Chains A and B, each alone.
Chain A
Amino acid sequence: MSRYLAPAGLEEALVALAGGARPVAGGTDLVVGVRQGRFPIPDDLVAIHRLAGFRGIAEGADGGLVIGAGTSHAEIVAHPRVTRDWTGLADASAIVGSPATRATGTLGGNVANASPAADTVAPLLCADAVIVCRSTAGERRLPLDGFATAPRRTLLRPDELIVAVELPAPAPGSASCYVRLEHRRQMEIAIVGAGALLRLEGGRVTAARVAMTALAPTVRRVPEAERILLGSDGGAAAVTAAAEAVAAAATPIDDTRASAAYRRAMAAVVTRRAIGGALARARGETVTIPASDTLFGAA
């Protein structure tokens, strides 16, 4: 029989983790995973969703954002700074699972779960996110890039808790976008997805981030695509070449949701749309959140 601890504060939670308990916030991955038989329900659960300071979004001194790990997807997509400056994250947070999933599921959970199909991770990679981890031994700040090491594996130690995700201030002239292929409009999981962040200065791309979802064992950046975009004019040729670079870098699987061939072809499509969406936004155009829906049927 499992034990469920509702700690009074972060320190008590960390002590429990050090003692072998596993954290639960929204439970959207834990409960489903247990019911699917992927893993047994942990002997000791420590509830972290009510911890003070764990939930909510604060503006950093440098113009960045500190998102508490317990912040729900619904809260993220409702935040005006996110929808203005981190539109790619808003695109993703707006489409995770279903309304119920978004009300309950958390950003920290989505990152820690390290699913290759996690929607929020690609835009967080594009935003150069830093993961803030705490344990009884202290705090570690790890770049998200490289944090996930394999499906459902991360650098997080068993006694550590993700407490926040830090986003540095976006550079002027930059904008981001996340697009996923979906076959239904709710309760969906990314068949493939792509995030992009572009900075435009004087008609040239001076910064580029491209990340792909459900196309490799972990959500990861695609440097080949970024290099193609960097220094380009962001025109159709560069966008197409970058999209093809993602398709080439992808190592898609065959499963019930799609064949590898379809996934690879779709990798180019969603990347093209994500880059296109980010460029449009960088130029000041409106691409309504969530972009996956807005860009349905686009080139």
Chain B
Amino acid sequence: MAVVELPSFVRQDGREKVTGTARYSADLSTPGLLHAAVRLGGVAHARIRGIETARARALPGVVAIVTQADVPDLRYGTWVRDRTLFASDAIRWEGEIVAMVAATTEAIAREAAALIELDLEPLPPVVDLEAAIAPGAPLVHPGWAAYDGDARIPREGNVGSRHTIVKGDAEAALAGAPVVVRERYVADGSHALPIEPRAITAEWQGDRVTIQTSSQVPYLARTHVASTLGMPEGKVRVIVPHLGGGFGGKCEGHFEPHVAALARIARRPVRLAFDRREEFLAPDHHRERMVIDLATGVDHDGTILARSARILIDNGAYGADEPYLAQLAAVFAVGPYRIPAVATESLVVYTTTQPTGSVRGPVAPQVTWAVEQHMDVVAERLGIDPLELRRRNILVEGDEGPVRQRIGANGAKTALERAAEMIGWGRPLPADEAIGIATGWWPSFPGPSGAVVKLNADGSGTIVTGAQECGTGSVMALPILAAEVLGMRPEEFTLLYQDTDAGGWDAGASGSQTTFNNGRAVVSAATELRERLLALAAERLEANPADLELTDGVARVKGSPEAAIPIAELAAEAQGGRLLIADGSGDPPAVPEVDAGGCVGRLGGESFAAPCYFTQAVRVRVDRATGVVRVLEVAAAHESGTIVNPIGAEGQVLGGIVMGIGQALTEGTQLTPDGRQRNADMLDYKLVTAADAPPMRVEFVQVPDPNAGPRGLKGVAEPPAVPTPGAIANAIARAAGTRIRLLPMTAERVWADLADVEAGR
């Protein structure tokens, strides 16, 4: 199959976004629209004795107020049903929603929300992860035992779930290892922080509600609405206008049911649009705080003999997708290395802070930051070059993985060596500069997904897909796959997406899965159309369909270009009879077989289907007097299977690197002792900007994997954010002569460590 050349591939949504004509959720208006405002808890932990809305209701312009008393008494939660739509018995984090007001203007709604009186009895905050699991710690959910939950998840006290990866006898192997390194790393939380704060509009027609929302996962949002409001999914339509970024923070359902409930009470359409502070505090998704303990036993020649780990992961006040992610964390604690004895454990810990959940490559950046620093420490201890240590232990074809899965052909070692070559590993540098390297892996997530492809009478195509575009361009690239199957050009396809009434089901813009799964659906549908076109052409050309091909917009006999019919002619003919329309889903690729005996809290996928392997190398300069670190150069080598859309793939890597620089150096959720966020604004929560972006070089290593998606592709969105903090950490350690075991590695933390070194502490 020919590779589609893309010298000038233009995203269909690009012009609108660049010229400012694209309409986002908060831009929408409809007659009679009311404006909503939220009342958040404002305290980290308190019992609710009463909620008084009378003064708020009395404010002129207020139309409706909704609290838990106005919605079905149903608990929800992906893995444990630990939550209700609104806080009613207790407030468990400062951003927890207590009530929502609809009024004729946003200002009135906000004023009314502030007038709602909460009668609160303070409860002890639960913030520190170790203290939270200590005996006698105050419980975040005293009634947790009664919550419905996934039976596979062990939970106890403030431990919301526990997951282990066990292979061999790690403790015995550590005891017998010639060299053992034990370390602790601690990571602060951070935020997805899309430029677009979320906005949701709900409008009822009879018993059916249409919700326009800035969601990465419209079908999951639909399920969330239906399950929490006690109505059939068929009565809920979710539409996503242009989405101003998500980075995982808009995965899962969020406030769609709240706005729908409010609109039903108000009997008018209602729109909620968060301000920046609310976007920081209220979503039940931010990147996890962690305490990571690692121990590695190694032979003098650098052969890793054993790895044990315990990772405490902040769950926050309520469980989102953290149990599943925690299982991944226990795998990431092993790293993409050949280790015969493994005992890693992750505990998801309830605290009275903002719930955590998927943010671009969830759990992996922090764990990889720790593991890859740990690898460098092991190398230092052994006197082995860190690159060489990785080279000796990295997973290659035929190796046994952490759950005894057989590792297939992969580009891990090639990516490792390429990144090192690209950056000039080992070259002389000024005293305040150094190069660091980090490697990692990230699974593909096979799953169901649907799409419809149809050909119009003029020969153009339309793809109707359930996949959601979150800015990565993955949906925008679907025409490439369809065009390739049908011998057409990508720009001949229009896209209809982000409407749950239109496309087939899809898991949404999460887990780097769009091209992987929905690409398969599009190829499946296009392949059916291809067969129909060939059959039509075979009749006209009086040829065997097997002798025909679709190429350059025509159906023709292979080897006889003159015997050709334009696809448009066939499509026009079909319009007079059976239409050229096909749906596709296809069978998700397999997950490798596992032997996970001894593993606890298994939720599936721990053997990592079609993993991406990657290495990034960075050169940094450390300002020793101030602790400020600048990243001067990045080299990234990624094995993400076949690259279908080179422009889009490279863009994802560049963006992931820059996001990783922010996570590494400046982005961190700062908490007060009682667990409220101190820096919930963009002045004090420091994203890095384009000005901080160093020169970056990207290379893709392409290795076939039988479990990959169509054309051998894998996801590409999350992996680039994974190794960046670890690579920067290792570079800092070499340049500064001190290792920073706190994330983010802020200037002040680097400075404090340097001051300790100079003071001989």
Contact = CB atoms under 8 A, between A and B. Distances in A.
Interface of A: 36, 98, 181-187, 189, 255-259, 262, 265-266, 269, 296-299
Interface string B615-655: 00000011111101010000000000000000000000000
Nearest to A188: B686
9 contacts: A181-B628, A184-B687, A258-B748, A259-B748, A262-B751, A266-B626, A297-B432, A297-B621, A299-B625
B547 interface: no
A49 B689 CA distance: 29
Contact of A256 (B678, B688, B689): B678
Nearest to B431: A297
- Looking at B628, B666, B679, which has the most chain A CB atoms within 10 Å of its CB? B628
A296 B630 contact: yes
Nearest to A181: B626
A183 B747 contact: yes
Contacts of A186: 689-692
- Looking at B625, B666, B678, B689, which has the most chain A CB atoms within 10 Å of its CB? B625
A279 B666 CA distance: 32
Contacts of B690: 186
Contacts of A182: 628
Interface in B660-689: 665-666, 670, 678-679, 681-684, 686-689
Contact of A183 (B621, B622, B666, B752): B666
Contacts of B624: 297
Interface in B277-312: none
B746 interface: yes
A266 B665 CA distance: 18
B748 A185 contact: no
A188 to B, nearest CB: 8
A262 B689 contact: no
A36 B681 contact: yes
Contact of B689 (A185, A259, A296, A299): A185
A189 B688 contact: no
A37 to B, nearest CB: 9
A187 B621 contact: no
A251 to B, nearest CB: 19
Contacts, number: 58
A299 B684 CA distance: 27
A192 B416 CA distance: 40
- Looking at A259, A265, A269, A297, which has the most chain B CB atoms within 10 Å of its CB? A297
Interface of B: 432, 621-626, 628, 630, 665-666, 670, 678-679, 681-684, 686-692, 746-748, 751-752, 755
Contact of A185 (B432, B670, B691): B691
Nearest to A99: B691
Q: For the complex, would chain B's binding face be called helix, strand, loop or mixed by DSSP majority?
A: loop
A139 to B, nearest CB: 36
A183 B682 CA distance: 14
Given A183-B746, A256-B670, A257-B684, A297 B623 contact: yes
Given A256-B670, A258-B748, A259-B748, A184 B626 contact: no
A185 B632 CA distance: 13
Contacts of A262: 748, 751-752
B690 to A, nearest CB: 8
Nearest to B432: A297
A297 B610 CA distance: 44
A183 B628 contact: yes
Contacts of A258: 748
A256 B681 CA distance: 11
Contacts of B755: 265
A269 B625 contact: yes
A149 B586 CA distance: 71
Contacts of B689: 98, 184-187
A256 B667 CA distance: 12
A184 B432 contact: no
B625 A185 contact: no
Contact of A184 (B623, B681, B691): B691
Contacts of A266: 626, 751
**8 closest Cβ pairs, A-B complex:** A186-B691, A185-B691, A256-B684, A256-B679, A297-B623, A269-B625, A262-B748, A186-B689
B692 A185 contact: yes
Contacts of A259: 748
A183 B623 contact: no
A211 to B, nearest CB: 19
Nearest to B689: A186
Given A184-B689, A262-B751, A189 B625 contact: no
A273 to B, nearest CB: 8
Contacts of A298: 625
A185 B665 CA distance: 13
A269 B626 contact: yes
B519 to A, nearest CB: 37
A181 B624 CA distance: 13
A78 B716 CA distance: 43
Contact of B751 (A185, A255, A265, A299): A265
A256 B746 CA distance: 12
B355 to A, nearest CB: 22
A189 B683 contact: yes
B434 to A, nearest CB: 13
A184 B666 contact: yes
B461 to A, nearest CB: 41
B630 to A, nearest CB: 7
A296 B686 contact: no
Contacts of B692: 184-186
A129 to B, nearest CB: 27
A146 B746 CA distance: 35
- Looking at A184, A262, A265, which has the most chain B CB atoms within 10 Å of its CB? A184
A262 B627 CA distance: 10
Nearest to A189: B683
Nearest to A186: B691
Contacts of A185: 689, 691-692
Nearest to A262: B748
A185 B689 CA distance: 8
B757 to A, nearest CB: 15
A264 to B, nearest CB: 12
A98 B666 CA distance: 17
Nearest to B679: A256
Contacts of B684: 255-257
Given A256-B670, A296-B628, A184 B621 contact: no
Contacts of B625: 269, 297-299
A298 B621 CA distance: 12
Nearest to B665: A183
